[in-house]
Structure 1
Amino acid sequence: MRIALTYNLKLSDSEEEAEFDSQETVNTLAAAIERLGHRLERFEVSGPASRTVARLEAYSPDLIFNIAEGRRGRFREAFYPALFEELGFAYTGSDAYALAITLDKQLTKLVLSKHGIRTPGWQFVEHLNELKVEELRFPVIIKPNFEGSSKGITQDSVAETVEEARTKVAHALSRYPNGVLVEEFIRGTDITVPYLAAVQNDHDGVLSPVSYDIDPAAIAGRKYDIYDYELKTKRESAVKVRAPARLPVKIVEELRTVSKKIIAVLDCRDLGRIDFRLSDAGVPYFLELNALPSLEQGAGIYASAALEGVHLDGVVNAIIQSAGRRYKIKDGRRQGKPARKTGPLRVGFTYNVKRVKPTAEPGATEDSEAEYDSPTTLQAIREAIASWGHEVVDLEATAELPSVLASTPLDIVFNIAEGFKGRNRESQVPAMLELLDIPYTGSDPATLSIALDKALAKKIVRQAGIHTPIFQLMHTGKERLNKEFTSFPLIVKPVAEGSSKGVVSKSVCGNEAELREVVKEIVTKYQQPALIEEYIGGREFTVGLLGERRPRVLPPMEIVFLDKAEKNPIYSFQHKLDWNDRIRYDAPAKLEPALLEKLRTAARGSFMALGCRDVARIDFRMDDKGRLYFIECNPLPGLTPGWSDLVLIAQGAGMDYRGLIGEIMAPAIRRYKEREARRAADESALMKLALEKAAQEKASPSEDKSTGNGSGGGGSSSEAAPRMEMKA
């Protein structure tokens, strides 16, 4: 079976990502699915939904194994299942309706209380003036209504008095404005009852209750016995799952019976976890249902399933089997559904091969083919494309390419060709592909031409409200220096080159004489104007983006300069050839949330202003006041495994090389399918017109005979009568 594993990857310890899955969890689940004999692809879904849709449509899975939590909003857990439903994909777990209800704790309680399920008294509060805690028994616990993983729950969440409750509710609402739940605090212990629908037992898949053994040292001095956020996310090593929980048989039976009823009422599918609070008197109170429970190693669902003889692979298989039965998937095919168009595509691979090795020797820099790709890189890309099941057709971008393209049947093209000369060189191959109506990866000819011209790109980005350094073009080195430059140093670089060509240590100029000398060298060597910019002396970042329209912004990478003796460091051509001990790549960059958001916004804004598509890498510098400056955009970034900036950025985001190539290719496959649909519609319309015309032509002779004079002449009376009169 072709299975897509959809997830949000945890990249930080922030509370915002507390419910996301670690790389270890993703790897564990992926390995289990593959051991079960399925073909698996990983889909990290953070970012625009359009990107996820494009990738899923390109892969066409038989089943989606979904553990994605969603990023924001009260219906975040429901978002992806709703999307899968709309796209017609089968998926594991509960549907959007059940997930929306169960993420809303107070709505869940309202529904279950109507069915006689015992729950602590509560009040849902969106505004402080609504609080009526006098109606509740103290103490009470204040928790966010729309959060999981014990987010917002600490020792300070319990209030003993009305005044204390008001203070704590006000604080909670400031952090969680969607509303908080004020609930009677039950003194006792936390109990969890896992659920696996496919496990055949006397309780229809409801497993044995589990409890938590917590290291006494970790909870020394705590007033309240609660499994809070700190224990769940920061001190998880101090918590062990006990399966089965040490409970009287009567309570175990009650918990399983009540859980079975809860599962049925809320229509929880495939898997789930029901949390109870067992009072000191042995009375269980329902707290919440997690219809999208954690599947990290050590989770209660594994410990409880093991009591039934079902271990890790068995748990994963049970989830797949349950979903498979619901969607009537047999032998990897969904019964009653038309087969999705899958199978390999013929993918043309356009490139320029590097035959001259770059060097950065002082006074003799060789960079004529620095932007081209080595045979090793080309082979890595070929293998990555082929690993998705496609046939790869090599198309070196030589002068013969136009005739080769015209005579080679292709579905799409994976383009990394740099072209040969001129500031439009990167657009040459895409322009040919558009002429032949062949979908291809990457930005269109207009964007590629604009982005290669650094001065033109800065003008457009500046119009979009994004800071750029002050800049000027010089064609000879004799032009008057712009008065906007108020001080040195300034930096000089070729206006239309990539891969840091022409950017060397002496590119940063400390006076006008140095600057004019460097300008003359650049104009002579590269046969193009030189770009002069104010030097921004702060931190340097590069940001990768994937997708169309509103792209996914990958976690930024920082280029950290290690040589403290370097007064005005730059990410030079020498650095790119030999970066060991001279620079360090922090991927992802260590940034405070506010700066990270500013960088993401600037990157996305630049991408959209320049009209980029599918993939780009955008460079920024930050000044000493914390302002971010756009330096340049590369919509055709390098893809050398383990070396190119974009590849390192992707690795920092938890994306392997094959996945990166698949992400870049997916939108082009979507455009290919759209083209095929248009062609099919056009053919259908033409066929319809032809049939209508044939029907009209068939009808015309019979109409003529019926209006003729019977002599067999076939002429109409309106035309024949005047002629007869004239002859007479």
Structure 2
Amino acid sequence: LAARIESISPDLIFNTAEGRRGRAREAFYPALFEELGFPYTGSDAYVLTVTLDKWLTKLVLANQGIDAPRGRLITPDDLRRMKEPGTLGLAMPVIVKPNYEGSSKGIADEAVARDARQLAEMLPRALRNYPSGVLVEEFIAGSDLTVPFLEGYGDEGVLLPVDYDVDPAARSRFNLYDYRLKSADSGSVSVRCPADLPRDIVARVRAITKAAARTLGMRDLGRVDFRLGDDGRLYLLEVNALPSLERGASTFVAAAREGLDYADTLQAIVQSAARRQGLTVKAGNKKRRPPEPLRIGFTFNIKRLDSKNGNDAEAEYDAPETIDSIREALESHGHQVMMFEATAELPRQLMETPVDLVFNIAEGVAGRNREAAVPALCELMGIPYTGSDAATLSIALDKALSKRVLLQHGILTAEFQVMETGRERLSPKLKFPLIIKPNQEGSSKGVSAHASVVDDETALRAVVRELIERYDQPALIEAYISGREFTVGLLGDRRPRVLPPMEIIFKDGNNPRPVYDYQIKQEWEKHVAYQCPAHLSPAELKAIERVARDTFEALDCRDVARVDFRMTAKGEIYVIEVNPLPGLTPGYSDLCLIATAAGIDHRTLIGEILAGGLKRLREKRRAEAARNAEAQSQGREGKSDPRGDDRQLAIPK
């Protein structure tokens, strides 16, 4: 998420995230937004932590003279220390509710204990369901009501009270607005505003809400829930600083009394947060014209030879079907796509057909820097592009060079040697079995399970000479690492998102030295099975994710990459290869299979990769605007000087 936010770089985040677990779960995302430096709607992390804790909220508000039912916070440790809970010093009946839950979870007639015996039976069960702690409060006979808070409207943000008209047949025995009525039986409830209350009660409950919101520091939106006792007293039950935004919720019913429909209310939340952050929100955003589509240049190399027939010259290129799928995904995000095959004509084509951004999957034509050709051209022409830069792509394509970089960062990779002629002396550090590969190829070109793994020097030199002659490049010799094989996809930039590891499981159990080679990749259904997420212990998963992220950062990858690993029986994790330009064929390429397992469809995957380029495009435009403003300012200063001194000329940096 952090990587995606940084890539998108929003002006304002509309936050509704509840979090997943823990007593401070609602505070997690606001704290993350604050750490990243992005403004957001709603209360801050501190307020959300306090208000999720019903007990703490009431302690804070008690200092303001705000009444709440008498109660006790009970944890599992408290219960173990008690011989008999008795009545906990509270007047019966009492209600037992989870202390750190919202949406009336755990609230039901069955949560009301009429005597000490029922309470003693109820507490262990409640704490098993909610081990963080339960709140035991004196039950107040009466009815529930709530007061919504919408900053900028009502009385200092306090709207009119809301109560609930419940079908008598569905009403709970204790007249509770419980979990059942909020969820499964919501059709039996009418949310009513203004509440059917005397004027003095309305005035009092709004005054209490105002004091609670001010004391807690609630911002933009919220809700304060009360119990109106049969004796006319008001008791604060809880404060919700992250209330429901479902249509028909109390906030929208009360906002309608202010003349706001659903969209207007959401806009009011945005405007409140924007004012607080010093941002400008234009009026009538609901009806604004959609932004002009960007002109996305899509650079690729198209495969015209059938790689399955043994000719691997275009093995790394993309089939027309893959190119069409990516183009359709880009267009689905609202962009105009300009198609460019990465040939010698590309510089002229980019000059004649201006684009805002390049989405690059081009592998290049020849040479050890071929993958860097398009990024280097884009940099020369000042066009932002997706993916890693020219330096990273050149280093990653050179297996030996990338291994040296990884070793400098303390990342484990197999012992290796490069041979340029096949006559070099074999390093004494290398122990058989060894595996030989072309040093500057991808897609497992030149790798064969039958020929590439050798046990003696004679066989090694024969394979080395054959690869050097065939691919016109050095051969890489590596120690063969036995163990499980994994590949991991990463998305993002400075804080990459690590996708679930995928294990490549070899079907031939009789082969002690399996290799995920070129032929297997052409007919993978016969030879391997893919398991994603891989079956790993928590410690193994954490270790693989750490090495994947460290590898991504060591090579300065951007937007997307895939890292291949072998994990030995001892748990040692070796990086086999890094691919910052992975295949994007739907339903086939490893990264696409991993993304699908992670719940990311092909359109979204392309959008995630595109996000990095869009971020750099925004940065470029902001920098250009700043330079233009500076140039105009300096130009005005220059014109005011009658001497026309050259020192007054504005020269853009």
Give the TM-score of the pair, scaled to structure 2.
0.72
* TM-superposed deviation, 1:336: 8.3
* TM-superposed deviation, 1:622: 0.4
Amino acid at match of 2:315: A
Contact kept in structure 2, 1:78 and 1:97, CA below 8 Å: no
Alignment-derived partner of residue 438 in structure 2: 494
Shift of the 632–263 alpha-carbon distance from structure 1 to 2, 3 Å rule, reads: farther
* TM-superposed deviation, 1:690: 2.5
* TM-superposed deviation, 1:688: 2.4
Contact kept in structure 2, 1:78 and 1:100, CA below 8 Å: no
Q: What RMSD, in angstroms, separates the aligned Cα atoms of the two structures?
A: 5.3
Alignment-derived partner of residue 88 in structure 2: 137
State the secondary structure of the residue aligned to 1:366. coil
Deviates more, 1:556-565 or 1:377-386: 556-565
Alignment-derived partner of residue 322 in structure 1: 265
1: CA distance, partners of 2:208 / 2:535: 44
1: CA distance, partners of 2:103 / 2:548: 31
Pair 1:688 & 2:633 matched: yes
Alignment-derived partner of residue 459 in structure 1: 404
State the secondary structure of the residue aligned to 1:580. helix
* TM-superposed deviation, 1:66: 3.3
Alignment of 1:392-403 (within 5 A): 392-403=337-348
Pair 1:549 & 2:494 matched: yes
Q: Per-residue displacement from partner, 1:266-317 (whole Å, max 9, x unpaired)?
A: 55876779799x9xxxx9997755554789xxxxx89999xx9xxxxxxxx9
Alignment of 1:16-415 (within 5 A): 46-48=1-3, 51-55=4-8, 57=10, 64=14, 66-67=16-17, 69=19, 75-79=27-31, 87=38, 98-113=47-62, 114=64, 116-119=66-69, 121-122=71-72, 137=88, 183-184=135-136, 204=161, 241-243=184-186, 265-266=212-213, 267=218, 291-292=241-242, 320-327=263-270, 334-335=282-283, 342-359=291-308, 365-415=310-360
Provide the aligned length of Structure 1 versus Structure 2: 578
Deviates more, 1:511-520 or 1:633-642: 511-520
Amino acid at match of 1:636: L
Contact kept in structure 1, 2:378 and 2:385, CA below 8 Å: yes
Query: Percent of aligned positions with the same letter in both sequences?
Result: 42
Shift of the 544–465 alpha-carbon distance from structure 1 to 2, 3 Å rule, reads: same
Alignment-derived partner of residue 518 in structure 1: 463
State the secondary structure of the residue aligned to 2:642. helix
Amino acid at match of 2:560: V
1: CA distance, partners of 2:95 / 2:488: 42
Amino acid at match of 2:593: L
* TM-superposed deviation, 1:527: 1.2
Deviates more, 1:616-625 or 1:586-595: 586-595
Q: Per-residue displacement from partner, 1:391-438 (whole Å, max 9, x unpaired)?
A: 111121111212222333221111111111111111111111111111
Unaligned runs of at least 5 residues, structure 2? 106-115, 151-158, 171-178, 190-194, 254-259, 273-280, 646-653
Contact kept in structure 2, 1:98 and 1:268, CA below 8 Å: no
1: CA distance, partners of 2:613 / 2:307: 32
Alignment-derived partner of residue 628 in structure 1: 573
Deviates more, 1:511-520 or 1:94-103: 94-103
Alignment of 1:644-723 (within 5 A): 644-697=589-642
Pair 1:601 & 2:546 matched: yes
Unaligned runs of at least 5 residues, structure 1? 1-45, 152-159, 214-231, 247-251, 296-300, 309-316, 701-728
Shift of the 636–586 alpha-carbon distance from structure 1 to 2, 3 Å rule, reads: same
Contact kept in structure 1, 2:372 and 2:394, CA below 8 Å: yes
Q: Per-residue displacement from partner, 1:435-491 (whole Å, max 9, x unpaired)?
A: 111111111111101111111111111221111111122223333332223342x22
Q: Per-residue displacement from partner, 1:58-99 (whole Å, max 9, x unpaired)?
A: xx89x8473362788663143367689x7567x5x6665643
Deviates more, 1:657-666 or 1:261-270: 261-270
* TM-superposed deviation, 1:320: 4.9
State the secondary structure of the residue aligned to 1:335. coil
Amino acid at match of 1:375: P
State the secondary structure of the residue aligned to 1:477. coil
1: CA distance, partners of 2:447 / 2:164: 64
Shift of the 407–272 alpha-carbon distance from structure 1 to 2, 3 Å rule, reads: same
Deviates more, 1:538-547 or 1:341-350: 341-350
* TM-superposed deviation, 1:586: 2.1
Amino acid at match of 1:493: K
Alignment-derived partner of residue 311 in structure 1: none
Deviates more, 1:367-376 or 1:333-342: 333-342
Give the TM-score of the pair, scaled to structure 1.
0.66
Alignment-derived partner of residue 426 in structure 2: 481
1: CA distance, partners of 2:634 / 2:320: 51
